[in-house]
A and B are shown apart, each in its own frame.
Chain A
Amino acid sequence: MAEHAVNFAAASKAALQDSQLRGNFRRAMDGLMSKRAVQFADAKEWHTMRALAASVRLRALAKLPELLEQLETNLTRNGIQVHWASTTAEANAITLAIMRKANATLAVKGKSMVTEEMHLNAFLEDHDIEVLESDLGEYIVQLDGTMPSHIIMPAIHLNTKQIAHLFKQKIKDAASTGEDAAALTDLARRILRQKFMNAGVGMSGVNAAVAETGTLCLIENEGNGRMCTTVPPVHIAFMGLEKVVEKLEDVPPIISLLPRSATGQPITTYVNMISSPRKEGEKDGPREIHVVILDNGRSSVYADPELRDTLRCIRCGACMNHCPVYTKVGGHAYEAPYPGPIGQILVPQMEGLAKRGEMPHACTMCNACVEICPVQIPIVEIMGRLRVEAVHPSASVKDSGARASKTEALVWKGWAAMNTSPLAYKIATTAMSAVGNAAPGSLPLLKEWTSVRSKPRFAPRTLHDLARKKGIPNV
């Protein structure tokens, strides 16, 4: 499939000029960063806890095939039906078949990033099935017909006034609603409760799936996740194959770090652990639960021992909140299901470097994301590796070598030749000192740099010259 390259540079330029957007993000990100810092004031606790969480995720990856089989066995024993999908198309088809069998025409959905990968809403709507996002942020984004701009706070790019305006446009009885957050929230409550009541299927993501017990763990603040997983007669849970953990005991470290990293809360309002559909005699809960385990490129990510660490991620979004690029341009500029640092290493591996080769370059390599990652993903190292993959064909990453450029290769070849020959080096540096400053900034390769930065000036004497003059030997 020939896909066009996504142009982050152009989208980010537009975002940078949107002062409303930048203000919305700046306020939100500053708030999130300071709230997170309060939660990790105890440095020793932070270091030991993230080492524990990283070990839990690494152990899960070390035993991944066995744990997925154990998970399947225990889910099945508990009465939960397991489906495997290599591609998003397969996952969509599985979902449609479940909905058709249940005669369901309305689904309510709790937050699930995997279904964003699948573009599930659009797919089901094409088959005359209504899917309603019930997380308030996702609901707002769905009304607006756009994409989430943050994996934890999907509507963070909009302010209250913009949301009030959107509600007035799209919701019949919104005219009489006030413009404050409480009134807008209450309006959404009234509308969505009707939907929870009437939906034939509830959908959700999974934060962790426990192989030992066959348990799905979901965390949330709003209660919409519990509604989606408890009220409709059928529940479908979507998980990336990396979401498994070995033991129930492995859940508390993740639950301890995820909300604190994401939003600076000690814990989410609800931690929802589901191990079975409604049993004989129970009065509520779904009668059927389905789990869709999605690959969508993850097994190729897993295949490379260095890139594999991408799959440690617990989706807290802290790397976005701390990224100097993301906090300026916001999530939409990436045009991807996962924006920000984790998106920049995950999405190119899922969708290929032909389409996503620019993503790993939207990074200053400042390492802020690595310092705050609760599971110690070496994001910047992987970013560097993907930059190399983009210009060198290999078997590791989809469409590797897609960004290879003859000019660039030639420049680096020349650079290497100059630096490995003392004579060439001397000639080149002397020439640069003498005439380098006369080169206009508009030269083809130089322009990339000088269009946004001042042109560097060459010193009149090289460092070698100066050192020799001082009598330093062996220069």
Chain B
Amino acid sequence: MSDARAAILGTLRRTRDAHPVTPPPSDFTPLADKQWPPEERLPRIRRMMEAVHTEFLDATEADWPAVVTDFLTRAGAANLLYAPGTADGATLSAYPLPPREREGTHAQHGEGEGFAGSDGPSPSDTPSPFPLRGPLPSPETGEENTASLTLIPYDRPIEDFKQQMFEGIDAGLTGTLGAIADTGSLILWPSADEPRLLSLVPHIHVALLRADALYDSFWQAMRDQRWADAMPTNALLISGPSKTADIEQTLAYGVHGPKRLVVVIVR
């Protein structure tokens, strides 16, 4: 349709030149003015994100894997999809996962083979059998009083496990590039190591936020980090779990994306 291109651009150029516009200068002061003292940023982020049902956990560099796995086990999650190629993924996979007590049965997804239990998962640098390949595991039979969280590495293209991704994953773990005080938003740059769907398809999205990576505004973050020099395949701001108000303006959470967003503040 190069004809359309030439016609469109020709008309635009001709009519613009006949009636040029002189736009007023763009004064970015209202964005530059959006500033908070460093100690107020995190409480503000927390307040704004909690207002839209985001949950927060506090942790340290030493204990966040325990905080995350404890939380997910208590939440009834059977498995956690993670990014084995990232530093956080390596930390998580090196963390020994003891079996945890759980009330009743949460047998919807059962357990995959290979990763569960106190032996800990395989190190991410060695190829590992993928626990959710093939048909979904049948509902768990025995061991009704204990359950453990199965760690599943996102280590292959989505085409190889699409159905399992949509039907068999409870939680996904990602890092963040920081958070924004103005609007209460996480910044994510998915990558080859930390794929895009980790923060979208699992029912629970767990995001690690370093307490020192806080920005005043979206504008400040993109300027400070010089985003315009090289944008990634996909950059995201995430400000809560998936929500909708399309049915009579009644807020409902978890319409297409995660039902729960859990931010782990790591100090």
Contacts and interface: CB of A to CB of B under 8 A. Distances in A.
Interface of A: 24, 27-28, 31-32, 45, 48-49, 51-52, 54-56, 58-59, 61-62, 64-65, 68-69, 83-86, 90, 94, 134-137, 140, 153-156, 158-160, 163, 180-182, 184-186, 188-189, 192-194, 196-197, 212-215, 221-224, 226-227, 230-231, 241, 247-250, 252-253, 255-256, 263, 266-279, 281-285, 293, 295, 299-300, 302-305, 308
Nearest to A155: B246
Interface in B1-44: 1-5, 7-9, 11-13, 15-16, 18-31, 33
Interface residues of B, number: 81
Given A267-B185, A270-B237, A275-B234, A303 B11 contact: yes
A271 B12 contact: no
Contact of B20 (A48, A62, A223, A283): A62
Contacts of A184: 247
Interface in B29-66: 29-31, 33, 48, 52
A86 B255 contact: no
B256 interface: yes
A55 B26 CA distance: 5
Given A52-B28, A252-B31, A273 B1 contact: no
Contacts of B257: 222-223, 226-227, 269-270
22 contacts: A49-B30, A51-B24, A55-B27, A62-B16, A62-B21, A62-B23, A156-B249, A180-B250, A184-B247, A186-B252, A192-B256, A193-B166, A221-B243, A222-B242, A227-B257, A252-B219, A253-B28, A271-B236, A282-B195, A284-B197, A285-B234, A302-B16
Given A136-B244, A269-B239, A282-B191, A248 B227 contact: yes
A90 B1 contact: yes
Contacts of A185: 244, 247, 252, 254-255
B192 to A, nearest CB: 4
B184 A266 contact: yes
A66 B97 CA distance: 57
B133 interface: no
A50 B245 CA distance: 26
Contact of B256 (A45, A69, A222, A308): A222
Most buried by B among A158, A189, A284: A284
Given A86-B7, A283-B157, A270 B236 contact: yes
Given A62-B22, A84-B5, A284 B196 contact: yes
B162 A269 contact: no
A163 B247 CA distance: 8
Contacts of B227: 213, 248
B19 A305 contact: yes
A40 to B, nearest CB: 12
A253 B31 contact: yes
Interface of B: 1-5, 7-9, 11-13, 15-16, 18-31, 33, 48, 52, 154-158, 162-163, 166, 182-185, 191-192, 195-197, 200, 217-219, 222-223, 227-228, 231-250, 252, 254-258
Contact of B231 (A134, A197, A272, A273): A273
Contacts of A221: 242-245
B219 A52 contact: no
Contact of B233 (A194, A226, A256, A285): A285
B102 to A, nearest CB: 24
Given A58-B24, A83-B1, A269-B241, 13 more contacts: A27-B249, A51-B24, A64-B16, A65-B13, A84-B8, A86-B1, A223-B257, A226-B257, A248-B222, A256-B218, A275-B232, A281-B192, A282-B195
Contact of B254 (A45, A159, A189, A304): A189
Nearest to A284: B158
Contact of B25 (A55, A65, A278): A55
A65 B256 contact: no
Contacts of B195: 282-285
A279 B192 contact: yes
Contacts of B231: 213-215, 248, 273, 275
Contacts of A308: 19, 21
A256 B239 CA distance: 13
B252 A269 contact: no
A65 to B, nearest CB: 4
A78 B219 CA distance: 23
A136 B5 contact: no
A63 to B, nearest CB: 8
A376 B157 CA distance: 46
B162 A212 contact: no
